[in-house]
Structure 1
Amino acid sequence: MKKTISSLLTAVFAFTAFGFNSTDESTNSKPQTYVLVHGAWQSPYVWDTVRTNLEKKGNHVIVVELPAHGTDATPVHILSINAYRDKVIEAISNVDGKVILVGHSMAGAVVTAVAESIPSRITKLVYIGAFLPASGQSIGDLAMSDPDSKLGPSLVESADRLTLDVKADQLTNLFIADGNASVKQKIIDNYRAEPAIPFGDKIIVTEKNFGSVQKAYIKTLQDVVISPRLQSQMIANARITTVFEVNTSHSPFLSQPETVSDLLLQIGK
């Protein structure tokens, strides 16, 4: 394990040459505020270990619970990407200064919308195995363009078309194939059907706003929900040059939380 992390950190420093170039020790140790946003079919619990690790280093961490996820009782028929966006903006509005905004999976579209709305409040925008729509694209558009994804055949639409379920026998295979038994059980125990409407909402971004925010992307190389090939295409389209790779499935903060924590700390320097 130590050898794996060592190799990863070596790659991290290599990639940093293209991105955030901070070598001053006083800058490196400055506490940051991280805002962490979970993806579809998940909720704030997925960040528990990463949150603890970041806080141990003196950082402030806010974990956002999106509407109709976790224990939130918002009716699914009133949801939209903008409702998700506004929940994140509300969390950031309670922070003094700028934040490092992190989005996973579906939340990649959410944090993109947030960055378009309040670019001056975001120091760095971080995507982890996440959808990154171009202007005029929706999550659904991107998902339909990903022939390598195994998610589609495992989805079951509700009769009212307001939610999407993942077939129970595929849930852990899709989201945490490389996790231990305990982590897989967490995914099962916290499962909740996903609101469908936001998947069709198109994101509009501009160079002036979204384009002005520094970005980093953490690729998930064993991902069968958002394939590495689609991730690479989105990275190229967004012209992101600060790119890291983790050899995990779709939920690296559960299977390799120490590695994800180290990467977020490196990005925050």
Structure 2
Amino acid sequence: MKNLKLIQFIVVIYTFLLTSCTDHSAQPIQAKQYVLVHGAWQAPYAWESVKSGLESQGNKVVIVELPGHGNDQTPPEKITLDTYKEKVIAALSAMDGKVILAGHSLGGMIISSVAESVPGKIEKLVYIAAYLPASGQTLDQLAHTDADSQLGADGTLIFNKDGVTVDVKQDRIVDLFIQDGTPEIQNLVLKNYRTEPLIPFINPVTLTDKNFGSVEKVYIKTLQDHVISPSLQNSMIMANGVKTVYEINSGHSPFLSKPDLLTALLIGIK
């Protein structure tokens, strides 16, 4: 089975690289629509290389800027998991037909909630180093089951006095999120870092078999992840019965450290 997956992966990469060398004006046989959701302490910039790669093959791509991230100035005390969900649903509603909805890290909680609300808009859910909850769970609860995560190490998280934001200790950001990136990419992550709204971490999701359970799911594991450990990723995959699983030998942010590989996987998902 492992050899088969390896062969499939090589074929996907070869096809992507071959088509990347041809005339980009040629449309693929089946262009798709992708909506990409970033995670905590990040913003749309993190997806730009993957967006370019997907669009070079004729696909339509929308990156959602979550409230309180990037250039958005929504006050953190007004941000909940539902706030994120509604922003993603608005992006889906503006697109004709179904989309492949991909979420990273915290984004896994969001896309799960979106799938519960609008399952008919989603062709597939793709979890990329993402939290994949069961009904009633919060991100905080899932994270506390991850004994191998380095995010929960003493002093790594700084809960601010405002009671509604949380930070990562500055000298831990690179090792946690992008230890396998180039110095330029690591500096990009540091430059774009923003404090994170806390409330969505403690908001539970309500999921049903009828809605959330009806949407096909794909998980892309990150084997060198310091934030969501491979052991927790495996546990969530098994708990949710995800049958299609791929692996990238990367840290927590493969869209930054290995964007071509991640793009090829997204294109190759059947």
TM-score between the two structures when normalised by the length of structure 1: 0.90
Give the Å deviation of 1:81: 0.5
The within-5 A match list for 1:177-196 is 177-196=179-198
Give the Å deviation of 1:12: 3.4
Structure 2 equivalent of residue 210 of structure 1: 212
Q: Alignment RMSD, CA only?
A: 1.6
User: What one-letter code is carried by the residue in structure 2 that aligns with 1:42?
Assistant: Q
Unaligned runs of 5+ in 1: 1-6, 15-27
The within-5 A match list for 1:158-197 is 158-197=160-199
Structure 1 equivalent of residue 69 of structure 2: 69
Cα separation, 1, equivalents of 2:6 and 2:265: 8
Structure 2 equivalent of residue 20 of structure 1: none
State the secondary structure of the residue aligned to 2:142. Answer: helix
Structure 2 equivalent of residue 17 of structure 1: none
Cα separation, 1, equivalents of 2:96 and 2:143: 36
1:12 aligns with 2:9: yes
4+ residue runs of structure 1 moved beyond 4 angstroms? none
Give the Å deviation of 1:161: 1.6
Give the Å deviation of 1:11: 5.0
Q: Is the 8 A contact 1:222 1:228 kept in 2?
A: yes
User: What one-letter code is carried by the residue in structure 2 that aligns with 1:183?
Assistant: I
1:50 aligns with 2:50: yes
User: What one-letter code is carried by the residue in structure 2 that aligns with 1:51?
Assistant: K
Cα separation, 2, equivalents of 1:182 and 1:224: 20
Cα separation, 1, equivalents of 2:260 and 2:179: 18
1:119 aligns with 2:116: no
User: What one-letter code is carried by the residue in structure 1 that aligns with 2:195?
Assistant: A
Structure 2 equivalent of residue 135 of structure 1: 135
Which residue among 235, 238, 261 is the counterpart of 1:259?
Answer: 261
Q: Is the 8 A contact 1:126 1:217 kept in 2?
A: yes
Cα separation, 2, equivalents of 1:8 and 1:260: 15
Cα separation, 2, equivalents of 1:31 and 1:237: 32
Structure 2 equivalent of residue 81 of structure 1: 81
State the secondary structure of the residue aligned to 2:140. Answer: helix
Cα separation, 2, equivalents of 1:83 and 1:196: 13
Q: Is the 8 A contact 1:8 1:246 kept in 2?
A: no
Structure 1 equivalent of residue 222 of structure 2: 220
Cα separation, 1, equivalents of 2:209 and 2:184: 43
Write out per-residue CA displacement over residues 166-205 of structure 1, whole angstroms, 9 at most, x where no aligned residue. 1110000000000000100010000000000000000110
State the secondary structure of the residue aligned to 2:172. Answer: helix
TM-score between the two structures when normalised by the length of structure 2: 0.90
Which residue among 199, 202, 208 is the counterpart of 2:201?
Answer: 199
User: What one-letter code is carried by the residue in structure 2 that aligns with 1:145?
Assistant: T
CA gap 1:42/1:262 in 2 versus in 1, 3 angstroms: same
Q: Is the 8 A contact 1:220 1:250 kept in 2?
A: yes
Give the Å deviation of 1:10: 2.0
User: What one-letter code is carried by the residue in structure 2 that aligns with 1:10?
Assistant: I
Write out per-residue CA displacement over residues 42-101 of structure 1, whole angstroms, 9 at most, x where no aligned residue. 000001110000000000000000000001010100111111000000000000000000
Give the Å deviation of 1:224: 1.0
Q: Is the 8 A contact 1:11 1:244 kept in 2?
A: no
State the secondary structure of the residue aligned to 2:247. Answer: strand
Cα separation, 2, equivalents of 1:237 and 1:8: 21
Matched length: 250
Q: Is the 8 A contact 1:162 1:196 kept in 2?
A: yes
Unaligned runs of 5+ in 2: 12-27
State the secondary structure of the residue aligned to 2:115. Answer: helix
State the secondary structure of the residue aligned to 1:111. Answer: helix
Q: Percent identity?
A: 51
1:90 aligns with 2:90: yes
Structure 1 equivalent of residue 247 of structure 2: 245
Q: Is the 8 A contact 1:79 1:195 kept in 2?
A: yes
Q: Is the 8 A contact 1:178 1:255 kept in 2?
A: yes
Cα separation, 2, equivalents of 1:227 and 1:181: 23
